[in-house]
Structures are given as structure tokens and as C-alpha cells.
Structure 1
Amino acid sequence: MRAERHWRSALEVSRLALEAGALVPLSTRLITDPALSPFLLRELTGLPPRHLRSPGPRPNPFLPWDQPLEVGRLGTRHVLLLNKYPVQAAHLLVITPEWQPQSGWLRPLDWQAVAEVAADTGGLWFFNSSATAGASQPHRHLQLLPRHAGQPSCPLAPLLLGQLAGERSTWPWAYRLSRRQDPQGGSDLSGLYARHCRDLELGDSAQDGAPLQAYNLLFDDEWFLTVRRDREHQAGFSINGLGFAGCLLSTAGSDRDWLLRHGPWALLEAVATPGSVIPRLRRLD
């Protein structure tokens, strides 16, 4: 059983940051419709985050980061930070204190920081490699939505586990899905990441200066998923890694009628690289 100290600290820091005005939770409501199952669709009912309201260059929110949002340090190379605009309480970010591009390769030190947090607090991790994959900031950050032991990490987790067990069909887009081998979030992550990147023809960190294509990473204690991306949006919906976890957000510009007519699976298929581009990618571990 994990101690969940990071999670408890994040909730306390959230309380103080909310009182100080540094934390700005998003106001949403859950939209229920059988056509959406098993996805969860939330509608943004308040103003969008400040960084999405104005066009043009945006200041880097992590250089420097808001001190009231800091949960703790992870060695000397990473910081555990609250997401300033969360939907879920204690939405955590692992950031680099110095500039590192979101569009660059994740390095062993990044995975060590993830492993340090994961050994204490479990949940759904995700990473958006660039704006095409739904990243809203260009500074390196991985994200964690904490979950207690025994809780599903996301709406699509049962389907992912079913695929790994051979009980579910594969998806039509380019992706790789593997079992996690170390339930404490250990050293398998770096190897899985490198293998998925090679298999999806995203490149090789030993040979390529940066990944060759946009992608999303999602993982929990049991599985590790990489999805190759072609575009960021469809029908007014901005899709980041959480879309492939089964979590969607509707804003004023979203065409919800399109979503209900075509279904959320069509939304994901529209933004991911078709599996036919690299046929062997539909093979599972």
C-alpha cells in the first residue's frame, strides 16, 4: 500500500493556494448520454484558462513557477507542482526547473522523477509531446491524476486491460500498448518509452535530435500506452492524452452534436495517425 504522502501534501497545498488565489479550478459539469459511454464528457461552464483566452506568444508559467503551487522538490532536477487550472483536485505536474522543451525526448532523469512520485502516489500519468498532441505549454511537464489503490485509473482502463488479455479488439490508429512490469513505477518506464518510440517510428533518442512525430503517453501501474498523433483537434474539441484515457472536455467552440452523431471513438480516430500507416503497430506485447 502506498503512503500517498505526495497526494496528501498536494491537497494541503491546494487548500492554501486556493485561499491565496494562486489556484484556479475550472468549473465544469458532467454531460451524460448513452452515446458517449464509456467516455466521460465534461462541459466547461466558466471562463477558459487565462492562457487560452488570448492569441499570440504566452509567458512560460514554469520559469519561474508560482511558489504557492509547489508541492515539493524531486532531487535537484525536477519539481512537483499543482496544475494551476485543475478539473480534479490535486492534479500534479512533474516539471524541470530549468528550460527543457516539451517536444524533446524524455530522458532517464525524467523517468527517475516519475518513479519517485509513483512509488508513493499512484494514478493516471500522461504526457502530451507538443501542441499537436494537445500540450498547452512548451516547457517539459508530465502530469498525474492521483488514484487510490484499486480504483480504475481512467474510463478506458478496463478496455486497455482487456486488449492486453486478448479479450478486446485493437484500435484503428497507430499505437503501442504494453504491460507494466514493475508495479512501483520503476525502471521499466524508460525502456518501454524507447521501444514504443522506435516501433511507432517516432525516432530514436540516440540518433534523432527530437521525436519525429507528435504523440501522447498514458500509463498506470498495469499498462503503458503510446499513441501517435496527426492533429490536435476535431469538431471543435481539443484532444490531449486524456482523450485516449476516455476523458473529454467540451468548450464553447465544441460541436457536441457532431460528437453525439459520430461518437467519441470517431473523435479519437480523427486526430490519431491511422494504423494503416504502419501496419505492424497493431501488434500487442
Structure 2
Amino acid sequence: MSERDMLLDLAEPLQKLVTEKFRTAYRDKSILFSETTVASLRSQCGAPFQLRYCPALARKPNADGPEKKEPGAPKFDPFADPPEELLVASIPANRTSHNLVLNKFPVIQNHFIIATKANKPQTAILEEDDIRITHACLRAWRNEQHGPTESRLFSFFNSGEHSGASQPHRHLQFLPVEDMSSLAAPGWELLLDRMTVRAHPDVPLFRDPTLPFLHFSTPLEDDLSSTNLYSKYLLLLKSALSAARFPDQPLDQNVEVEKDGQTVLSYNLAMTTERMAICPRSREAVAIPGAGSESSVALNGTILAGTLMVKYEVEWDTLRRNPSLLDGMLASTGFPPASWERSNNGTRS
């Protein structure tokens, strides 16, 4: 067992801990699980997406907690002292830096979160420990596979005002790919698995040319050290900012991505054991044309999995009738796609 696999120092296998905790929390009504109806969509260029309809989202309690606070009272922090019924584990056990907790309002089974024990900002650059522990969870889930069915986790992180982040306390989220899959949406695959076309001749950056928004991915070799894993994250962050802020310029790997302790762009990050991906964001939500004045679809890191959620029936019906609307929606929440073609000066095509 590698040092990274030992990092979590869990008493039992991660899958067992999460699934049993979820089952108990669901039975005891400690979590509010909302069923979704699923359909498959194809973008104009053929990229597969899941559309999920969840009317319960329109009734979801706000992030300030179940009880209304007095004016001026601190905002409720669900990760400051996680309740026992949601706490899966504290990791590592001997020197806890993160808590592993269930999502209280899941729409997909076994949705869990790692949150920093200390209240660190969601808008700051992730630290090496955040990335290292996230990857350790991904590996642990994969390595505990039983039977012929592949067992994978999808992890995502929302940072910045346009990213879809709902909590300021730093946290990364996990969804089992098997629980995301649905017979009602055949042909769906994780979007970041498709990001395999080279985007730079010399730097390990890749993309999916069918997607209408700026994004990059980079492969994660199985034997990566924690330092090299973290450098992959920084490469994506700098590449996303360089392409978003400086169109038609060479890739600037020295661009400053942080100012006064905050990242200078909103972005979504996603990770599996095989690949890490990023998309910078310019808007959090977008209206669906023809779906009424109340239409507002907020996108977060699950867009890098190829899934989006709507809460009103008119939105659900409109997108299924007109899947071509998807491309414009995706484009309007990000930046124009980019790739650097091979040339003497490295400028972008």
C-alpha cells in the first residue's frame, strides 16, 4: 500500500463508511434526499449531457441553516462542527486536517464532502493537502472495487462568486459515478473523460473541441508524488487564467492567480484518479430562453461531469424539446474555447 493510500488512516474501507453512513442518515431523516428525473441531451457537436429535474431544489433551505438568524449574527457554517449523524470520519485520524461528511441535501446517493477542519476560505488557492487528500479518497474508492463493475468517484470544487459555490468554508465534493449513471440517460459519460485532444504542443494540456466553453484537463499518472500532483493543479489554474484574461497571447505559466489571499478568477475544478480538469467561469446562472421569467439555472463543478440540474417543469420541458439551447447556455457562463497551435512563437490559433 502506497503512502498516499495510507494517508486517510480510516478504520474501515471508504466505500463501506460512506454507504453505511448514508443509509443510516437516510433512514433516520438526518439527510433530505431528493429524487430526480433524468434525461439525456446532446450538445450541437454531440457531447453527451445528463439533464436532471429536481423540483425539490425550489424548496431547498438556504445556506444560513434551518433557523432564521438575528440580524448581524454570524452565517451558519455546516462544516464548523459537523453533527455526528453526518460525520463519516476525521482524516487523518492522528492529526486531523479535514472532516469527511455527508451532504445534507443530496440529489445523488452517497454524495459526500471533505471540508477543512479549520475554517479556510473557499476562494483561496487550494493547498497541497487539499489536493492530496482528495486524490487519496479517489484512489481509496477505486481500490476497494468488488466484482466486475468499475468503481469510480468524481470530485469537484467550486471557487469564486460565479462558480456555484454555496458555502464559504473550504470543501470539495464527491459523487460516485455509478450513482450518477441512469438507465434513463444512456450514452452519458463523464465529460472530463472526453478531454483528450491536445491543447498545447509542449505542455500537458488537453480539451474536448466539441465543448463551447474554455476548459483544460491534464492526465494524472498513477505514481504521481504529492508535489507533482499539486503542480498539475497549479498548471490548470494558470492556464485557465492565461487563456481567459489574455486572448490570442502565448500561454503565460507565470501569471499571478492570487491577490490578497483570493484567486483572481472564479472556476470549477474536477478530478478523477485519471484526470484533473478546470473551467473558468464568468457567470453562475443563466436563463433558459423560452422557459419563463423565473428561469435561472445555476451551474457548478458537476458541469465537468456533463450534468446539469433544473428545478422547474417548464425548464425541464424546454431543454428536452430544444437541446440545442444547451450550447448557448454553457458558452454564456464561461469563456470562449482556446487552444494553442504548434508554431514558432507558441501563439494560439
Offset, 1:253: 8.4
Q: Cα distance 1:87–1:133, how it changes in 2: closer, same or farther (>3 A)? A: same
Tell me, yes or no, if structure 1 residue 26 matches structure 2 residue 34: yes
Equivalent position to 1:272, from 334, 337, 349: 334
Offset, 1:105: 1.1
2:19 is matched with 11
1:40 is matched with 50
Gaps of 5+ in 1: none
Q: Is the 8 A contact 1:161 1:223 kept in 2?
A: no
Equivalent position to 2:274, from 222, 228, 231: 222
Bigger mean CA offset, 162-171 vs 60-69: 162-171
1:64 is matched with 81
String of CA shifts for 1:63-105, please: whole Å, max 9, x gaps. 2222211111112100111111112211110101221111111
Equivalent position to 2:156, from 126, 129, 136: 126
TM-score (norm 2): 0.68
Gaps of 5+ in 2: 143-152, 182-186, 200-204, 243-254, 288-295
String of CA shifts for 1:88-137, please: whole Å, max 9, x gaps. 21111010122111111100121222133123114111100134101111
1:199 is matched with 239
String of CA shifts for 1:193-236, please: whole Å, max 9, x gaps. 11111222276468762210100001212221111100001111
Q: State the AA in 2 paired with 1:51.
A: N
2:285 is matched with 233
Offset, 1:189: 2.9
1:189 is matched with 229
Q: Cα distance 1:59–1:162, how it changes in 2: closer, same or farther (>3 A)? A: same
Q: Cα distance 1:34–1:246, how it changes in 2: closer, same or farther (>3 A)? A: closer
TM-score (norm 1): 0.82
Q: Cα distance 1:184–1:120, how it changes in 2: closer, same or farther (>3 A)? A: farther
Offset, 1:265: 2.6
Q: State the AA in 2 paired with 1:16.
A: T
Equivalent position to 2:108, from 82, 85, 88: 88
Bigger mean CA offset, 250-259 vs 172-181: 250-259
Q: Is the 8 A contact 2:26 2:32 kept in 1?
A: yes
* SS of structure 2 residue aligned to 1:112: helix
Bigger mean CA offset, 84-93 vs 205-214: 205-214
Percent identity between the two aligned chains: 26
Whole-angstrom CA distance in 2 between matches of 1:17 and 1:191 = 37
Equivalent position to 2:61, from 50, 67, 80: 50
Give the superposed CA RMSD: 3.8
Equivalent position to 1:169, from 187, 204, 209: 209
Q: Is the 8 A contact 1:124 1:154 kept in 2?
A: no
Whole-angstrom CA distance in 1 between matches of 2:226 and 2:188 = 18
Q: State the AA in 1 paired with 2:281.
A: R
Kindly indicate which of the two structures has a greater share of residues assigned to helix.
Answer: 1
